[in-house]
Amino acid sequence: MQIRQQAISRALSQLPQALLLSLRNHLEIWATVVVVLAAASFMLSRGTGFSITLMTVFAIWAMLAVSLNLVLGYTGLLSVGHVGFYGIGAYTVAALTANPRQELLEGEIIQIFAWPFFAALPVAVALCGVVAFVVGVAFSRFRDDVYVLVSFGFAIIAYNVFVNWQWVTRGPFGIHQIPKPAIFGYTINDDLEFLVLTLAFLAIVVGISWLIVTSSFGRVLKAVREDEDAIEVFGYRSSRYKLAIWVISAMMAGLAGAMLATYTSFVDPNSFILLESILLVAIVILGGLASIWGSLLGALAFVLLEEGVRFVPFLPPEHVGQVRQIILGTLLVLLMLFRPQGVAGRFKL
Amino acid sequence: MDILSRPGRPTLILAIALTLLAVAYIGWKVTESPDQALQFTITGLNVGAVYALLALGFTLVYSTVWFFDLYYGAAAAIGAYFVFYLRAGQTTDASYDPANIGLNIALGAVVAGVTAWALHTAFFERMQGRYPPLLVRAAYLLIAVGAGGYTTILLLYPDNLHQIAAPLITLISTAVIGTVLYWALGRFGFGSTGSSRLVTIFSAVIGLVAGATAAIALAQTPESRLYISWLVSCLLAGAVSLALYRGLYAFILLRARSTLIMLVATLGVLLTITAILVMVFSNTTHPLPASFGNNLLTLGGATFKEFALFAIGSAFLGFAILWLLIRKSPLGKVIRAIGDDEQVARVVGINTTAIIAIVFFIGAMYAAFAGILTGQDIAIQPRMGLELLLKGWIASVVGGIGNLYGAILGGFLLGVVEQFGIWDIAGEWQDGVALILLIVFLSFWPRGIIPRR
Amino acid sequence: MLQTLDIEKRFGGVYAVDRLSISIPRGLITAIIGPNGSGKSTLINLLSGTLPLDGGMVVVGPKRLRIIKPFDSPNIGLTRTFQDVRLFEQISVLDNLYVVMTERSSLLSLFQRARKEHRERAERILNVVGLWEKRNDLAEELSYGQRKLLEVGRLMAMNTQIYLFDEPFAGLALHMIEVVKGVMRELQEYGRTIIFVSHNMGIVRELSDYLIVMDSGRLLAHGRPDQVLNDPAVIEAYLGN
């Protein structure tokens, strides 16, 4: 009897240590369990409408996170400029599909195209690709810290364009009344149907990303990340690989932007400030570098965080975003101290 | 910097063509309307002064630690916000009072920590043999808690800032005047021989008398509150920066595999501080209370505020101080040694962590002052930090990173180019012009106008 | 046949390689020796395009090259190891080999995966260098000697005519040195040209068929090892100052 008690107490005394060790070694699994459970409990407690909104927002952020992870996690280019492509995608769809009746900017002639969504979408994605190609060529010489700053620069220039190119973007007023996607005369107005569409696009993005990172191309990307000069000696033009993944990633971000535009039926420059990009970088690093699953996890955690923060007692609702930002910022610092690859990551910065 | 390769011949030709094009454009504009050109130049110099100050601090920090400190931008923002915080009662929207006891205590704690650290680093080893360590520690703790409490009280009663700050001003003036006097006397042959101690005491006493006089004079003029708040803000921003380095970055640096780790960590700090600023001070734009120099001056066809002259002057003053510090003082020699090779410096016996902490303190003070100038000139808002950071970085890259001459030159050049760049297009494109300048420089002259030797 | 004609490389004002003309016989093992700072590693870097030439040209078979881009070096039949071992640290040992075997074109590589033949080749190579058990470890987790062997393995995975080894034996344990020697001999049996830089005279004597001695970026002597090593000028360069 006594012996058994001793054994139990010894096991109990070792439990915290064992748990901690397990937490460190299997953080990916633990995090997945926690995040998925949190998501499930939120959805169950808040009902269908909330769940659909949550999942749609998640899907858009997840597309962004996966696309950035291709560049940041797999190729090692810390780009803070992805919000620019996100915005280009959103604005292209907005400008091409919107059919505003009331608010026309005074003294400005605004082109109205009123295209269907599925016609505008390929244009948006292609435009992102073209812009990314030009930007990528201009940025091909830069690495590391310098790359971060020029990509900062790209985000700011993109924001400047959104605010100031009023002929197309209608400046700070934004573009209203962006229609929902319609195909063969059938409009996807229902939230659930829209969610399915968004998830389908997310699945495409994840699928393509998975194919890329498991192909020979993906292996070369990782090698470029590890030692750009060494991989060149083995016959690869690393700048081409970097450019290619940059363009692909930008097109995915553009797709996410297009979905955002038609989802909120309204775009304005405030959705594409530099801060969004920084949050995105935080999501990707938090979720895990060079791990697609990690990016999905990070995006889900990010979306849940906003809802979770609302439960903090005595917190005025207008501070929810700030608290989330503080949590992300602090997590980023802690990760850099203890786990530079993020929760589910395969690449340490 | 090995990450930036030298340009080849085709890019060089392109670069020269671009330069000629830019010069031709400016020349054409100047002949077209000289008054306008003068106006743009002066505005550009005014803005450029802020960039120059930012670039000076940035270059100092970057060329010492060689990682990219994004918190530097937040330092500029919090510098400006502390002025707002201390002088909010005097702003145009008097209804807004951000008094926040939590912030006061937090800053008090930061100052206490920094004081304790400074005393420990400076004196602990010297005191160790003579007094029991416990006593020494207790003394540090007492002084540190005193300093922290003083800070909290200072922030608690901003209306009496000019009176409460008197001891602080006495302390600083004494230190500054005493040091300058000591140096000047030594320069003219005193103090080199046995009379050294006499000179020290003489300098200290004169410094104390002058400092106390200044403090008493300021305590009787409420108008001085704004300018005292500038000083306090710079010091606080420096203290926060120092605390961040010593308390956080130093530990991350121990395990960092790459500079990107530091960059991301400082990004996290920037995110956190920006969010805190928004929470405490709201997301809106605030004006700072009016300072001196609001009279308009005219020169040729150009009009500008007197404050512009002050800004330009302070950029040159900032340059001169930093130049003396880096090139002439013993501290500067150590800082340069660390910048050349930190490992070697540590092996030689330099307390690199302490010196880098001081560098962070000085750099953040430059950033904060630049932020204050921006706030006085335009207004403040929480995201200004990131913008100022970018401008400071661009200016230092354009001038040549790691070079003080380059920093001030790059700052003014950036300011003027920005103004000329938006001559024919809307002013909102200013940032775009700056970034294009950056990308051009990085592509063609990655080492800047005056490369670091 | 690999030949250099008056190739030059300056660092600042100092010539690291000064109008060097050498020719390296095909299908033999050639050793390059010389005192520290004599430009051996610079020569390897110039041949592989890691550093751009400041003057002169490199002749490989029918090709006469004034500019060698690093990514062109496999096309002209060259591959190399690095003096400071440069692996792709955060990917697995197996991937370190796959990455040099697969498709070079950025477009085609998108549709290619590691196939059975890649795996079989990688297995053969890893068995030769003794790293098959470590195949799923990250390269950064290997010991120094294992890293060096993996780099040699990576060279074997490349199928080129000329192999450049920069200090392949430095810091290796004896049994590892034997492995590297074996690899070189095997490559030679397949008719490949091998060039290696080394300070280990014993190995140079034993292994090389042809010897090039460099001093201050110039060619000091060349020829059969037993002749060259008895050359008074060479002895002086090594022992003189």
Per residue in C131-147, pLDDT (tens digit) is: 999 989 999 999 999 99
Chain A positions touching C80 (Cβ under 8 A) are 233
Mean pLDDT, to the nearest integer, of A77-103?
86
- C-alpha B50/C-alpha B314 separation (Å) is 9
What percent of chain B clears pLDDT 70, i.e. is strictly above it? 94
Choice among B98-102, B136-140, C151-155 with the minimum mean pLDDT? B98-102
Q: What is the DSSP letter of A70?
A: I
Contact between residue B384 and residue B371 where contact means Cβ atoms under 8 Å apart: yes
Between CA B59 and CA A169 the distance in angstroms is: 38
The distance of A104 to chain B (nearest Cα, Å) reads 21
pLDDT of B48 reads 94
Write out chain A residues lying below 8 Å of B260, CB-based. 78, 144-145, 148, 349
* Mean of pLDDT values over C23-45: 89
- Residues C232-237 have a mean pLDDT of 80
Q: Is the per-residue pLDDT at A55 higher than 90?
A: yes
Q: Which among B346, B326, B275 is positioned nearest to B81, based on CA atoms?
A: B275
Is residue C123's pLDDT more than 50? Answer: yes
Check residue A9 and give its pLDDT. 84
Residue A2's pLDDT is 74
Q: Give the gap in angstroms from C-alpha B272 to the nearest C-alpha of chain A.
A: 4
- pLDDT over 80 at A1, yes or no: no
Grade residue A225 by pLDDT with cuts at 50, 70 and 90: very high
> What pLDDT does A93 receive?
93
- C-beta of residue B42 within 8 angstroms of C-beta of residue B299: yes
ipTM: 0.91
Residue B191: what pLDDT?
A: 53
pLDDT computed for residue B4 by the predictor: 40
Please name each of the domains of chain C with its CATH number.
2-240 (3.40.50.300)
Kindly indicate the confidence band of residue B194, based on its pLDDT and cuts at 50, 70 and 90: low
CB distance A241–C106 less than 8 Å?
A: yes
More confident residue, B332 or A99: B332
Q: Can you give the pTM of this predicted structure?
A: 0.91
Query: Is residue B371 predicted with pLDDT exceeding 90?
Result: yes
Residue C5 in 3-state DSSP? strand
Q: What is the pLDDT of residue C94?
A: 92
CB contact under 8 A, B268 and A330: yes
Least reliable range by pLDDT among A33-37, B88-92, B167-171, C154-158: B88-92
Residues of A with CB under 8 A from a CB of B: 78, 138, 141-146, 148-150, 152-154, 156-157, 160-161, 163-164, 273-275, 278-279, 281-282, 285, 319, 321-323, 325-326, 328-333, 336-337, 340, 348-349
Q: What is the mean pLDDT of residues B243-262?
A: 90
- Which pLDDT score is estimated for A258? 94
User: Which two three-digit tokens encode residue A146?
Assistant: 């310098």
Interface of B with A in 224-283 (CB under 8 A): 248, 251-252, 255-265, 267-276, 278-279
A268 close to A90: Cβ distance less than 8 angstroms: no
In this predicted model, which residue has the larger pLDDT, A130 or C232? Answer: A130
Under the banding of pLDDT at 50, 70 and 90, the label for residue A103 is low
A-B C-beta contacts closer than 8 Å: 134
Chains that touch C (3 or more CB pairs under 8 A): A
B68 to chain A, any CB pair closer than 8 A? The answer is: yes
Structure confidence at residue A308 (pLDDT): 84
* Higher per-residue pLDDT: A235 or C13: A235
pLDDT for the residue B1 = 31
Q: Residue A140 has which token pair?
A: 């091909």
pLDDT for C239: 64
Residue B313 has what pLDDT? Answer: 95
Of B168, A235, A215, A275, the closest CA to residue C95 belongs to A215
**Half-sphere exposure (CA, 13 Å, Cβ side) for C62?**
0
* pLDDT tens digits for range A296-330: 999 999 999 888 888 777 788 888 889 999 999 99
Statement: residue B5 has pLDDT above 50:
no
**pLDDT band at A295; cut points 50, 70, 90:** very high
What average pLDDT does this structure show over A322-349?
90
pLDDT band at B94 (very low <50, low <70, confident <90, very high): low
Task: Give the pLDDT score at A110.
Answer: 64
Q: CB pairs below 8 Å between A and C: how many? A: 95
3-state secondary structure chain B: CCCCCCCCHHHHHHHHHHHHHHHHHHHHHHHHCHHHHHHHHHHHHHHHHHHHHHHHHHHHHHHHHCCCCCHHHHHHHHHHHHHHHHHHHHCCCCCCCCCCHHHHHHHHHHHHHHHHHHHHHHHHHHHHCCCCHHHHHHHHHHHHHHHHHHHHHHHHCHHHHHHHCHHHHHHHHHHHHHHHHHHHHHHCCCCCCCCHHHHHHHHHHHHHHHHHHHHHHHHCCHHHHHHHHHHHHHHHHHHHHHHHHHHHHHHHHHHCCCHHHHHHHHHHHHHHHHHHHHHHHCCCCECCCCCCCCCEEEECCEEEEHHHHHHHHHHHHHHHHHHHHHHHCHHHHHHHHHHHCHHHHHHHCCCHHHHHHHHHHHHHHHHHHHHHHHHHHCCECCCHHHHHHHHHHHHHHHHCCCCHHHHHHHHHHHHHHHHHHCCCCCHHHHHHHHHHHHHHHHHHCCCCCCCCC
> DSSP 3-state assignment of C3?
strand
| pLDDT for residue C103 is more than 90 | no
Report the mean per-residue pLDDT for chain C: 89
Q: Is the pLDDT of residue B8 over 70?
A: no
Mean pLDDT value of segment B12-16: 79
Q: Is pLDDT at A112 greater than 90 in this prediction?
A: no
* Average confidence score pLDDT of chain B: 87
Are C9 and C15 in contact by the 8 Å Cβ rule? The answer is: yes
Mean pLDDT of B283-296: 84
The domain locations on chain A are 52-273
Residue B93, pLDDT score: 60
The answer to whether the Cβ–Cβ distance between C50 and A229 falls below 8 Å is yes
Residue B3: pLDDT over 50:
no
pLDDT, residue A108, reads 57
SS3 call for A215: coil
